[in-house]
Amino acid sequence: MNRGIHPVGLLVAYVLTGLLPLVFIAWQYHAGASMLREAAIATGVLALALLLLQFVSSGRYETLSRRAGIDRTMRFHQLAARAVLVLALLHVLFFLVPSDADELRELPAKAVRMFTAPHLSSGVGAWVVLLVLVFIGIRRNRLPLRYELWRGTHTLAAVLAAAGGFHHALAIGAYSSNVWLAAYWWALGALAFGTLGYLYLVKPFLLVRTAHHVVSNEEIGHGIRELVLRPARGKPLAFEAGQFAWVLLDQPPVTLLDHPFSISSAPEALPEVRLLIKARGDFTSRLHALTPGARAYLDGPHGNFTLGGRSGKTIAMIAGGIGIAPVIGLLRHLHARGDPRPIGLLYGARNTSQLVHAAEIREACAALDLKYSFFVDEPPPRWDGGVGELTKTAVREAIRGEPADCLCFLCGPTPMMLACREHLLACGVPAEQIVFERFDYD
């Protein structure tokens, strides 16, 4: 299928949009201006532009996640946030750099004046909030914050930082009188806050129109539940095998409360949608109490962990733990359409009680050219599968044919995916033939 703009094109558009205000500033630059002052202005302008663009590159929009993948969009979002922080720090430092010994002695007093000046309060506030925002974003997996609380405070802090920076640029910016620069700020501000408003104010109403209800909720493995959903109204969710959705279960349609879950069913099973969810947090640990008939809201589809637009004479799928969710969705899709290609499946879990859908995988061999291998960390007596980590030998055996012709899908814990990716590369699989999506970083 045609996926539209290539991820590189999206990156180029992002960079050009972020650099555009420097063009407007350059028009008014005059010889003899202080280079440190101009550098301070330029870094501040860039920091604000990239901060406003962060609202668009957050990974919550189907166009971005389907084109580039959630792993790329989210990782880019994180790295761009750090770039914004560095630019904001440089913005202040360039204004404080002394030009002679007298200014060096006055540096502490100058810094105090800068951070306490009433006319700079919106900029200072934005700067301080930005420091806290990025620090908590980097450390979020190490802080005792519930996911919903972190998302709420993260969003609020981002809005405060962007609003403060926006006011600072228009009210006292050195080039705020430039009509083109002012128009740029208004346009970019409208884009940033407009996308935020769409996500948190408009989208909830759209979700209500496509609500689902829970048909069944069963534990199919230790700590792993399979939910079956059907539309309560409207059209079924149109998705490709391997994609995911942001899901609300027995909750109001408030997008700050949703969680991302891979879809484990194939499009051929619509209107039924299946989710595999492992209990590993406050929200997922309460799912056992979810009863049939409960309301569910699906925002999606998202992600490009899909077959569409990709080719390969053979297919290798490697799953670890709950990473089997999108992989079993792909396998079901291949089964439904009778795909003739050789398929290798490597599936690892902690123990056999968490090796879900093993019987279905075995039965699929009757309809598909499928070879599979199961690995567990805690093998039972007389276990005839693999034990421990997925080795390079096991990964190579999952490649049914020439590595250069193999399309490979990886999903599971990040260390496992990174290790298996290195094994695939070492076997000769081209990097562009390896598909995986990460939901966690740092």
pLDDT of 31 above 80: no
256-272 pLDDT tens trace: 888 889 999 999 999 99
Q: Which of 251-255, 303-307, 366-370 has the least mean pLDDT?
A: 251-255
Q: In whole angstroms, what separates CA 83 from the centre of its chain?
A: 18
Q: Which of 112-116, 158-162, 253-257, 262-266 has the least mean pLDDT?
A: 253-257
DSSP state, residue 438: -
Please report the pLDDT score of residue 116 as a whole number.
93
pLDDT of 63 above 70: no
Interatomic CA distance for residues 12 and 25, integer angstroms = 21
pTM of the prediction?
A: 0.83
Average pLDDT, the chain: 88
| Neighbour tally for 111: CB within 10 Å | 13
Q: 210-302 sits in which CATH class?
A: mainly beta
What is the second-level CATH architecture of the domain 314-436?
A: 3-Layer(aba) Sandwich (3.40)
SS3 377: coil
CA distances 216 to 219, 361, 405, Å, are 10, 22, 40
Task: Compare 386 and 66 and report the one with higher pLDDT.
Answer: 386
pLDDT of 338 above 90: yes
For the CA atoms of 84, 87, 92, 97, what is the dihedral angle to 10 degrees? 160
pLDDT of 280 above 90: no
CA distances 408 to 126, 367, 436, Å, are 44, 20, 9
pLDDT of 104 above 90: no
What is the rounded average pLDDT of the residues 77-105?
A: 88
